[in-house]
Amino acid sequence: MALLEVEQLRVAFGGATAVDGVDFHVDEGQVVGLVGESGCGKSVTSLAVMGLLPRRGVTVSGEARFEGVDLFNLPRPEMRRRRGSDLAMVFQDPLSSLNPVVQIGCQITEVLERHRGLRGEAARKEAANLLDRVGIPDPARRLGEYPHQLSGGMRQRVLIAIAVACAPRLLIADEPTTALDVTIQAQILELLKDLVDTEGTALLMITHDLGVVAGLCHEVNVLYSGRVVESAPAGELFARPTHPYTVGLLGSIPRLDLPIHEPLKPIRGSIADVIRWNDGCAFAPRCDRVTEKCVEGEPTLAGGAHTHRCVMEEAIA
Ligand SMILES: Nc1ncnc2c1ncn2[C@@H]1O[C@H](COP(=O)(O)OP(=O)(O)O)[C@@H](O)[C@H]1O
Ligand SMILES: [Mg+2]
């Protein structure tokens, strides 16, 4: 059974649709990628699932079910309880997610008290354990430090420690490595992978970088302008990318297996060059394979285990 099922998720800010009917699911212990350029709706999707969007001026519809339980209609205290113990989130920017004036130790023990009822020395011991678990050297000393005393990579480790403090069933990581340099990125990805392997935590990995997804995810969902345009097991997606947007994303990441002078091919235009999904394919203005058919109406999601939203592919299939 799916741990998390998101169906027809729509989020609008005033009149502006940010997420436009997103479907995906995460199975128990699975690593699922949500990939797309900046502005395509990744963060809004994850905040909606976590129940962290402001209520005022925001319209959320569709469903997010956790083990069959509809998260959008849970009473607030119940959702608060589940945040942390069932679902936890790691954000992109570790500095702004930590409280700058509170010692690292207190920020971890607070979570341990609230969700696991640990107090005093027991909580402190467990906090040190957690820091050790995420690869922070000299954990006992680190507990007494403030966020500014730690490097960016160490802060991200602290956030991961806080997120895993309650052994959540599902960890949502929203671009957890974007603010870090490349070697630290690799270490953090390794750490997340290790947590998944040893704790059996499911991971929803949100990133703009298909390279991050490659070694990590079982399933990948490619998002464009608020909709999933392609979804497949990772190996299948990399072997047979089908939607022109996915093909474009793959063409714009550096590859070690190509001749050194092979230029990278960025996707032309930007996510601002968009038409509404109701009128045709939102990617059409940037697509190299665009035809009149692409703007004659809404492309539907086709295919079985490997789905894609492209009228041309439908015609071929
Ligand atoms: N609080 C907000 N108010 C209005 N629009 C927003 C808000 N947050 C996000 N958006 C819009 O929703 C869209 C998706 O944003 P986001 O989910 O943050 O993108 P991503 O995480 O994929 O970069 C963007 O067009 C963004 O401008
Ligand atoms: Mg984002």
How would you write the chain as a 3-class SS string? CEEEEEEEEEEEECCEEEEEEEEEEEECCCEEEEECCCCCCHHHHHHHHHCCCCCCCEEEEEEEEECCEEHHHCCHHHHHHHHHHCEEEECCCHHHHCCCCCCHHHHHHHHHHHHHCCCHHHHHHHHHHHHHHCCCCCHHHHCCCCHHHCCHHHHHHHHHHHHHCCCCCEEEEECCCCCCCHHHHHHHHHHHHHHHHHHCCEEEEEECCHHHHHCCCCEEEEEECCEEEEEEEHHHHHHCCCCHHHHHHHHCCCCCCCCCCCCCCCCCCCCCCCCCHHHCCCCHHHCCCCCHHHHCCCCCCECCCCEECCHHHHHHC
pTM of the model: 0.92
- Determine the distance separating the centroid of ligand 2 and the alpha carbon of 137, expressed in angstroms: 30
Please answer whether residues 70 and 256 qualify as being in contact, where contact means their C-beta atoms are separated by less than 8 angstroms.
no
- Determine the distance separating the centroid of ligand 2 and the alpha carbon of 94, expressed in angstroms: 14
Instruction: Set out the domains of the chain in order of their start, with CATH numbers.
Output: 2-86+168-316 (3.40.50.300), 95-166 (no CATH)
Q: Which residue's CA is minimally distant from atom 10 of ligand 1?
A: 18
Q: Which residue's CA is minimally distant from atom 12 of ligand 1?
A: 18
Strands 87-90 and 170-174, bridge-based pairing: parallel
- Determine the distance separating the centroid of ligand 2 and the alpha carbon of 95, expressed in angstroms: 16
18 within ligand 1 shell (Cβ under 6 A)? yes
Q: What is the C-alpha to C-alpha distance for residues 171 and 206, in angstroms, rounded to an integer? A: 11
Counting from 1 in the atom list of ligand 1, the atom nearest the Cα of 175 is 21
Q: Which residue's CA is minimally distant from atom 13 of ligand 1?
A: 18
Q: What is the C-alpha to C-alpha distance for residues 78 and 86, in angstroms, rounded to an integer? A: 11
48 within ligand 1 shell (Cβ under 6 A)? no
Please answer whether residues 74 and 82 qualify as being in contact, where contact means their C-beta atoms are separated by less than 8 angstroms.
yes
Q: Which residue's CA is minimally distant from atom 24 of ligand 1?
A: 39
Counting from 1 in the atom list of ligand 1, the atom nearest the Cα of 174 is 21
Question: Which ligand is in closest contact with the Cα of 173?
Answer: 2
13 within ligand 1 shell (Cβ under 6 A)? yes
- Determine the distance separating the centroid of ligand 2 and the alpha carbon of 154, expressed in angstroms: 21
Full pLDDT tens readout for the chain, 317 residues: 799 999 999 999 998 999 999 999 999 999 999 999 999 999 999 999 999 999 899 999 999 999 999 999 999 999 999 998 899 999 877 777 899 999 999 999 999 998 899 999 999 999 999 999 888 999 999 999 999 999 988 999 999 999 988 889 999 999 988 878 888 888 889 889 988 999 899 999 999 988 889 889 999 999 999 999 999 999 999 999 999 999 999 887 766 666 666 667 788 888 777 889 999 999 999 999 999 999 998 999 998 899 999 987 765 54
Instruction: Please state, in angstroms and as integers, the Cα–Cα distance from residue 309 to each residue in 224, 265, 313, following that order.
Output: 10, 22, 8
Q: Which residue's CA is minimally distant from atom 18 of ligand 1?
A: 43
